[in-house]
Amino acid sequence: METFGRRYFDHCVKFDFDRQPELKSVFQTSKSPDRILKELALYCEKPILPHRTLLLFDEIQECEEALNSLKYFYEDAPEYPIVAAGSLLGVAVRKRKMTVPVGKVKILKLFPVSFKEFLQASDPATFRYVDSLKEIQNLPEIILNKLGSEYRRFQVSGGMPESVVALLDNKGIETVESTLQDILDLYEMDFAKYAEARDIPRIHAIWHSLPSQLSKENRKFIYRIVRNGARSKDYEDALMWLEEAGMIYRIYHISKPGMPLSAYQETDAFKVYACDCGLLRRLARLPASVVTDPTANYTEFKGAMAENIVLQSILSLSDGQIPCYWTSGATAEVEFVWQWKEEIVPIEVKAEKNISGNSLSEYNKKYKPEHRIRFSMRNLQSNHGLLSCPAPLAGWMDKLLRLTERATQA
């Protein structure tokens, strides 16, 4: 936000309601934007000018009156642009029964850095090559190798900005690990700060069960892995809390791939993934040295990491539209089923070059989709509606599908 403010405005001033609790009194004594601005001017050295100064309200969940004031700024002082941010804002609003000025603010969802964004910073030349693809064809071996190397590095840092910067600035793996651990520790503190007392141990238990849940060959969420004798009704609120906090994604099973997907979800069968692959790796205590070794074999969890990254790419491409997954009894499972334009696209994910299994073939026989995608570490190619794609290119999935569509029409 500060970078944006410095780049596009003459001035940028930040007010942090967590670090400066005295700011709350400014909003508690008046709802008038004019008076609020006069008092805020006492807390900053830069001028607050209409159209020329960007106001940043950080940790706004700490001051409900500031959140409500956005309505009055919108109505009475629109010439003062404001960007507000908050930690676990949705969770805090629900717990404290805060009023959100609906229709007066634009809500933006922020996701962790994607591999596509990571590659743009870590290897600009390889990024430009991939980003400029005009047709589906095998990539040069050198490009494929560079993608694999950077992809493994991304699995180490994940998409948390601070850990990405630590890795790209060559601060060392120890710094990356301590950064990720600090984030995990802060999450644990947030459990106690924003969750109901009865839910705190359940949230903690679910969060720490993720590596075990995803290490199974069948990654369906099982309550007894969280705790022996655990029942769904006791843990539903805890799952919802983690979802609202943006820490997990729940991927529901569908009975069949119909439009819209939400109409065919089976809410009692789902898989749970982490918001970020780097946090998942650190939560599982998987050493970075194992991930960066292309010969390392950690089987099921390697597959889980691959699925988590593809999911993050899907979410970044579809503005948070969560896909589903499909199974056919105990014989076939397609990791993700995604709505792309007016199509339902099945997506299979393989961690390495081994693409054995008949799940995608079973799906194809039953539903005959126009497009199918298989992510693995094999080269890029398209064959009779099957887009075989290196997993690092998941962030370009939309473009690659369009190229495939164009080639088919030609």
Is residue 253 within 8 Å of 327, Cβ to Cβ? Answer: yes
Percent of the chain's residues with pLDDT above 90? 76
Give me the residue spans of the domains in the chain: 2-95, 115-409
| 311 sits in which H/E element | helix 299-317
Is pLDDT above 90 for 329? no
* pLDDT confidence bin for 75, thresholds 50/70/90: very high
* pLDDT confidence bin for 95, thresholds 50/70/90: low
104 or 399: which leads in pLDDT:
399
**Residue 361 to residues 97, 157, 389, Cα–Cα distance (Å):** 49, 34, 16
Q: What is the pLDDT of residue 194?
A: 83
164 or 110: which leads in pLDDT:
164
Handedness of CA 297, 334, 396, 367 (dihedral sign): positive
Q: What is the pLDDT of residue 8?
A: 97
Q: Which two tokens stand for residue 213?
A: 């849940």
Q: What is the pLDDT of residue 371?
A: 94
Please give, one letter per residue, the 3-state secondary structure of 30-67: CCCHHHHHHHHHHHCCCCCCCCCEEEEEECHHHCHHHH
Taking only the tens place, the pLDDT of each residue in 8-32 is 999 999 999 999 999 999 999 999 9
Handedness of CA 221, 224, 226, 232 (dihedral sign): positive
Taking only the tens place, the pLDDT of each residue in 254-303 is 989 998 998 999 999 999 999 999 999 999 999 999 999 877 777 778 99
Rounded (5°) CA angle 279-284-309:
45
Is pLDDT above 80 for 185? yes
Strand segments (E) across 350-407: 372-376, 381-383, 386-390
* pLDDT confidence bin for 97, thresholds 50/70/90: low
Strand pairing report for 11-16 and 53-58: parallel
How far apart are the C-alpha atoms of 105 and 73, rounded to whole Å?
Answer: 10
Taking only the tens place, the pLDDT of each residue in 133-158 is 999 999 999 999 999 999 999 999 99
Percent of the chain's residues with pLDDT above 70? 99
Whose tokens are 């969060």? That residue is 207
* pLDDT confidence bin for 96, thresholds 50/70/90: low
* pLDDT confidence bin for 101, thresholds 50/70/90: confident
**Mean pLDDT over residues 90-96, rounded?**
71
How far apart are the C-alpha atoms of 150 and 392, rounded to whole Å?
Answer: 9
Residue 273 sits at φ, ψ, to 5 deg, of -115, 160
How far apart are the C-alpha atoms of 164 and 179, rounded to whole Å?
Answer: 10
Q: What is the pLDDT of residue 387?
A: 96
CB-CB neighbours of 89 under 10 Å: 20
**Residue 16 to residues 20, 36, 53, 63, Cα–Cα distance (Å):** 6, 15, 16, 10
How far apart are the C-alpha atoms of 396 and 394, rounded to whole Å?
Answer: 5
Is pLDDT above 70 for 34? yes
How far apart are the C-alpha atoms of 293 and 351, rounded to whole Å?
Answer: 13
How far apart are the C-alpha atoms of 298 and 290, rounded to whole Å?
Answer: 8
**pTM listed for this prediction:** 0.90
Is pLDDT above 80 for 90? no
